[in-house]
Structure 1
């Protein structure tokens, strides 16, 4: 769709990126972009942030993103680490317990949190970074040409009001499953075929967060063929959530009846004297994937691009991954470091990853929602005798700005998140990412990398994206990062790699088993940079942290 310029200066607002939608994905994207110096404006149709929870699960990768925004510790204070996942029979007899725990991200693998609380933290950070948020404003038209995107917006509560124009270099639709932006682009959604009965979600606030509920210590999946359901304790025990599968004869009205909800909670020993029901609502689950995520200068993220069943807790987390992947690429294009074709890698990398996550969520849902007695009995026996499935290894990124999987020197670690542990740099102890002012390209190595192994073209590629060298060792010293807990030593040994080239989103572009393989790896980087029009460094990509400057100049480089 193309457009001519429209509107007048008094009715026109300009920005680098306009984000439509201000849920957790939209606000995370806006904050990440603003952190990189991008002028961001948000259009949100609701006048206030939504006061009720929807998502409740944060994984370690999401917490690492919040860490990068400077709010990881604040979010952790309103979250509860999820250390195990119990699968039980209807009488709460435990069939198996799956330990969760560490993730390699520097954070626990899983947390449970009350969405309004962590959203407030992201919102405050976004506004502090200068994000302009137009709440109570609805986008009603979208047009674009070669140079810009024009959004026509008006107050949500005044549908007859005249349109105000928002002019942006790029627009990102993070406006949920009923996305206006996706509809304006004519995006079609492919159904991956998940089918299940609706579920009643009951969110509960406890008067006494320290009250012990023996059957509800962490997260419990109750494999009851009469009514499969899940229960989880959040945020230090203050909040709990139950998700009850609907029976064949139950209507939405039947399920949402307050007396019926109390009847379901009484089976868990919960009565009105224990607290209040904050929300009771019925969800129907989709497994939808948009057929394309980019059209010119307009892109989709989060539920606007994909929806999935909740059984891995990866819906919102996948949207946050979208935001992280897209942020550094948009920043590079806006700064002139890279051409717009770089944005094609957003869809090519993220879509296969999300599709695999949807399929894994569907598989877990099919397993926990069994109601056929014979099939359920076989499942229960398998769980009791062989234990539950291991936490899944999440998929690698699809093709894009990442080493191709078919390369002879490629490793399974390529295209996956880089490890993070605690390190000491010149007497300062912190998680690795916190030793740098902003996440960028890094060459993480077990030994000091000699620069003379690179030729002129390879050095130019390293310079083009401002690669920072990070030598990490168990040995004490001030000229390298000290691997305090041995996390990196374990990473090097487990993977058989000696160096990892990590991207600004903390994903591994590629790795090397020997330093002799590094020149070829950088040749691949140079080829990819050339493909996407990446020029000499400027702006954020050209700045090096003080730590990395010293490491790069240390003796022996």
Structure 2
């Protein structure tokens, strides 16, 4: 086989490319990141960080480095032109181990992501390298880049070989264009001007979405005393007008008494886009982040959607690179991520429509908001962020709970479908959803987050029982082959007993004490006693404990996991 320069060439040193390279690095694979600029982008772009992304940063070993540049519980209020609060978004649940929403400063976070690459021998970030050529040679790829000098002039070319290439270079992606896939969706003509200032003159830590019929705006309190405003430009206002200080002062004077006294650290204009690529893979070349999908900024999901791509793709690339899965596994990347990205685009586009309503539509919107806020159920729909579609994988590396068929998973099952084997606790299946992350205890750790004890790879866990009880010797060989952690969840009061019991198990079992009751509640409201968690912490399968052997086989099939060298 050809000796390769690296395992994966990552094109683009934005947050998605850097996160992907870090996730590959922590799992023992090399990545070379090529960036056309001579440095990281130094102006703020994304401002919202979700709990799912923090879970990924923790897996990459970077959350504690990033944490100082964030603020938890970023409250968002939709207000009209008179300052009346129409809806409040303030979710307080922490099912994934962290506050649902954080404000953050992207340049400082990106800097930590880049610095994280220094931990991994063979992984590097090369600035001043503009990719101009891609070639899929069947068993590897060749990526050609121009070396650029300080003035951006080409001084020569370099070609790198790798097993795979991933384009993370933004909406104008060279990689996506090379793939030749349609970029479907809309690019509304509405333009916005962004202004970031230091020494926040407002001081409130929240986010305000100003659904003002005269001129929609956004006002955001960020860490380290930064305030961001965004103002919509009307169709008859040329973009060049934002360079006129008098015009910018007219936008800001409704918010601060003396716009001239502000210290502006960033000002730029942008247009919202809502687009998604028809496919995220062509052979050994893939795309992620803005290269794969673009979405409006309303709900702060552009950054987070890209991190979800990196999370999903990293473990799959790792599995193929180390030989534990066939390349067919990579087909599930588009299958799993494209639908959710498209759903997020739709929700963001709808939010933009609500923001930009004219006088008549705005009045109707405001009246409806008053009525909805009187109904607790509808009010909580906004307060608890229930309108945001959570990723759920209905096809891909999932197993249907009712039939244990690999590759697809229905969201629910008709009452009684699992009978007579169980009294169903409901009709919804957890398969394809992200598993919770409460604080737990083990023999070696007290009051820690669940991921810290289960690790960042496959997990087979049961509630209250020994997970090896219904696994055959051949099953246990597969468990060893794929480094599947065996975990027993028990009430904290029973942990000592369970640890003593597991000492006689035919394979190592980690006993996890459920000190908060969150794990018991999770299993208590779902018709399963066993779950198989993927490396990205999504539920690949859920079943009765007695179905452990069949469930494991179905997961192996769904994930195209190999069985070479494992005795039958």
Above 0.5 in TM-score?
yes
TM-score interval (norm. to shorter)? 0.7 to 0.9
Q: Deviations over 1:197-221 (max 9, x none)?
A: 2111111211xx6x664xx441111
1:385 aligns with 2:371: yes
Aligned to 2:506: none
Q: Secondary structure at the match of 2:396?
A: coil
Structure-1 separation of matches of 2:91 and 2:254 = 27
Q: Does the CA contact (< 8 Å) of 1:465 and 1:536 recur in 2? A: no
Give the aligned CA root-mean-square deviation in angstroms. 2.4
Q: Does the CA contact (< 8 Å) of 2:72 and 2:103 recur in 1? A: yes
1:94 aligns with 2:85: yes
Q: How much has 1:99 moved relative to structure 2? A: 2.0
Which residues in structure 2 correspond to 1:192-271 (within 5 Å)? Answer: 193=186, 195=188, 197-206=190-199, 213=203, 216-235=204-223, 238-269=225-256, 271=258
1:431 aligns with 2:449: yes
1:281 aligns with 2:268: yes
Aligned to 1:506: 537
Q: How much has 1:255 moved relative to structure 2? A: 3.0
Structure-1 separation of matches of 2:27 and 2:188 = 41
Aligned to 2:46: 55
Return 5+ residue gaps in structure 2 as ranges: 374-378, 400-407, 419-426, 500-510
Q: Deviations over 1:155-196 (max 9, x none)?
A: 2236453321111111110111111111222222111x3636
Aligned to 2:166: 172
Query: Which one of 314, 317, 326 corresponds to residue 301 of structure 2?
Result: 314
Structure-1 separation of matches of 2:59 and 2:467 = 29
Which residues in structure 2 correspond to 1:383-532 (within 5 Å)? Answer: 383-387=369-373, 388=379, 389-390=381-382, 391=385, 392-403=388-399, 404-406=408-410, 408=413, 411-429=428-446, 430-436=448-454, 438-455=455-472, 458-459=475-476, 461-476=478-493, 477-478=495-496, 479=499, 480-512=511-543, 514-529=544-559, 532=560
Q: Does the CA contact (< 8 Å) of 1:466 and 1:537 recur in 2? A: no
Q: How much has 1:306 moved relative to structure 2? A: 0.7
Q: Does the CA contact (< 8 Å) of 1:449 and 1:515 recur in 2? A: no
Q: Deviations over 1:71-114 (max 9, x none)?
A: 21232211112342212121222233232223411111111111
Aligned to 1:134: 126
Return 5+ residue gaps in structure 1 as ranges: 6-11, 539-557
Structure-2 separation of matches of 1:274 and 1:61 = 38
Rate the CA distance shift 1:349–1:89 in 2: closer, same or farther, 3 A.
same
Give the alignment's TM-score, normalised by structure 2: 0.85
Aligned to 2:502: none
Q: How much has 1:381 moved relative to structure 2? A: 1.5
Structure-2 separation of matches of 1:286 and 1:31 = 28
Query: Which one of 562, 565, 568 corresponds to residue 534 of structure 1?
Result: 562
1:188 aligns with 2:182: yes
Which residues in structure 2 correspond to 1:302-381 (within 5 Å)? Answer: 302-371=289-358, 373-381=359-367
Q: How much has 1:412 moved relative to structure 2? A: 3.6
Aligned to 2:112: 121
Aligned to 2:135: 143
Structure-1 separation of matches of 2:250 and 2:524 = 53
Moved more, 361-370 or 261-270: 261-270
Q: Secondary structure at the match of 1:140?
A: strand
Give the alignment's TM-score, normalised by structure 1: 0.87
Aligned to 1:551: none
